[in-house]
Amino acid sequence: MKLLFTIVCLGCSIFGFGFQNEIRSNEGDDYQTLTSLFSQWRAFEDPPKVDGVPDYSAATFNARHPNFKLLQDKLTAIDTTGWETAQKVDWMIVWAEMNGYDFNHRVLRPWQRDPAFYKTLWMYRSDVPAHEGPTHHAILEFWQYKFPLTKEDRSKLLAQFTLIPGINAKAREYLTGNAKELWIAGIRTIKNQASQLNQLKIHPELKKDRQMQKAINSAMLSTMEFASWLEEQAKFKNGVSGIGKDNYTWYLKNVHLVPLTWEDEVLLLKRELARAWAALKLEEHRNRKLPPLKAAASAEEFKTMTDKAAKSLLKFLDQQEIVTVKPYYKPALYEHLGTFVPEEKRNFFEIGRHFDARPLYSHFYHWFELARMDTEPHSSPVRKGALLYNIFDSRNEGTATAVEEMFLDAGLYDDSPRVREIVYIMIAQRAARGLGSLYAHANQLSMEDAGSIHSEYTPRGWMKTEKDLLIFEQHLYLRQPGYGTSYITGKYLLEAAMADYAKMKEGNEKAFSVKDFFDELNSIGNIPISLGHWQMTGENQHLQSIWDASN
């Protein structure tokens, strides 16, 4: 009897993903057909550009739609019978990406509804494979440039700055939506871009370049004008911003490959919120005779504490055989140790980091994964880069959240039991903010009220100290369905995968190894947990509801 750790598929029959289709392909059914189609699909997904500006006009979408349907038909025509599981997984990734394009076109329409979509300048690298939330197709990744600039890089950067006024101008043409809260919150994002451009005017390597200064100034002024236009138009916006329960469930299953419904996620997040609060109170009781944690009170104390925390985590992962610690783990972690923040300015994550950084550094498993992408890219062209539409969220955010508690359970805090309390506070915060985002997408709560759940149900008032993080997170989750819940749902799905993996080992009379589990998880790339579960265990019944829902 198979062990199924899922709440939606009990009693479903197992499918083998043979996909007998009515449409047949003339190109063959070998795996090379899929990788070739993937290249065609990714080329198509990048829209045509007019003077370098992506064309998001309704006329262009409509004109290109027959070609999109042709790509979909080619994909469904491929018969994967006899393929290896890993190859079938790649097929599903391409299928999910195409569904994401379709959903964006039909429902989400960020180019029409979401002013933040037109943020062009990105000063930092995301801690997940691509930026969180929808982005347009001509963004400027400033963090990728190394100074002093080469001649080629200078020309490229100058051209990108020069493009911003055109992007802002076209945004006014394309932004015809009526999503009030997305519109208003997006103004803040665009104003932040203007501030960042203003700061770049005094960048040591750019302030001496007259052409660059002219381009940056023009970009800044056009961004400020764009923000003013958004403010004026906001007066006329009165529509909802959530996509509704049915659309949310379709998106979860068919794009992010999360085998849950909106209702399932509400139940799961309520459960995790209650569990985290209860566990926290029991930990506090257990530790009641221990002295409270003391936060770093100076830059020197912070540096000493964070260095100790990083060394402790890396030593634990290695000596306790949690995962194979690669040479790039240490530099990846040490690049993000953080800096001292005065107590009155600390947000939720900085509060915890100043007590003991190990819970947050556990979540920084993110940076190990990105370093692996850079250093050891996956051999599959489908998995080599970032999946589109944040499809990686259950994998990257879910794993980073899951390991916080998994490392706790494995003994990371045996030397300081009160640090365990921070882990449960972090879980409660993720559950509370995700729960708020669910109600916002169902249009049952405003973004502000969703933020109230986020704030009120985070223990110790740690989400009440600094409002910028609260606004940023709830805005992101309204822009990107499923992201706010992915931390907890991904955690749940990873635990389910580990359970089936352990059951598989036990059934084969083999010892379960935590290290083997994480090494195998790492080796398959940043793909949805549901697909990783399938590839690692051969178990795919949890995916049945996804395929059933699509037919």
pLDDT digits (tens, 9 = 90+) for 180-231: 999 999 999 999 999 999 999 999 999 999 999 999 999 999 999 999 999 9
Identify the band that residue 7 occupies on the pLDDT scale cut at 50, 70 and 90. Answer: very low
Helical residues (DSSP H) of 327-418, grouped into ranges: 329-334, 348-355, 358-363, 365-375, 393-409
Beta bridge partners, 49, equal 54
**Predicted pLDDT of residue 549:** 64
* Coil vs helix vs strand at 55: coil
- Name the residue type at position 275: R
pLDDT in tens, 280-291: 999 999 999 999
Q: What gap in Å lies between CA 247 and CA 401, rounded to an integer?
A: 26
Q: Is there a cis peptide before residue 165, judged by omega within 30 degrees of 0?
A: no
Instruction: Write down the mean pLDDT value for the chain.
Output: 94
Q: How confident is the model at residue 465 (pLDDT cuts 50, 70, 90)?
A: confident
CA distance 125 to 127: 6
Would you call 121 helix, strand, or coil by DSSP?
A: strand
Token pair recorded at residue 393: 């969220």
Q: How confident is the model at residue 25 (pLDDT cuts 50, 70, 90)?
A: very low
Two structure tokens written together for 110: 């960020």
* pTM score: 0.94
**Stretch 477-497: mean pLDDT, rounded?**
98
What is the share, in percent, of the chain residues with pLDDT greater than 90? Answer: 92
The answer to whether 8 and 2 have CB atoms below 8 angstroms apart is no
Tokens 């047949």: give the residue: 24
Burial (CB < 10 A; 0-12, 13-18, 19+), residue 162, is: middle
pLDDT in tens, 306-328: 999 999 999 999 999 999 999 99
Q: Confirm if 485 and 252 have CB atoms less than 8 A apart.
A: no
pLDDT the model gives residue 551: 63
Amino acid at 332: A
Compute CA distances 350 → 120, 325, 339, 426, 469, whole Å: 27, 26, 9, 12, 11
* Confidence class for position 550, pLDDT limits 50, 70, 90: low
pLDDT value of position 4: 38
Which H/E stretch holds residue 122?
strand 121-122
Whether the predicted pLDDT of 12 surpasses 70? no
Containing H/E element for 316?
helix 299-319
If we measure between CA atoms, which residue out of 389, 336, 383, 379 comes closest to residue 133? 389
Interval 55-94: pLDDT, tens: 999 999 999 999 999 999 999 999 999 999 999 999 999 9
> What pLDDT, on a 0 to 100 scale, did the predictor assign at position 2?
39
Q: What is the pLDDT of residue 469?
A: 86
Question: Residue 258 in contact with residue 482, Cβ under 8 Å?
Answer: yes
**With contact defined as beta carbons under 8 Å apart, do 356 and 14 qualify?**
no
Q: Cite the DSSP H helix spans in 78-179.
A: 85-103, 110-113, 151-174
* Tens-digit pLDDT profile for residues 361-376: 999 999 999 999 999 9
Q: Given a cut of 60, is residue 352 above it in pLDDT?
A: yes
Structure confidence by residue, pLDDT tens digits, 168-179: 999 999 999 999
Q: What is the pLDDT of residue 404?
A: 98
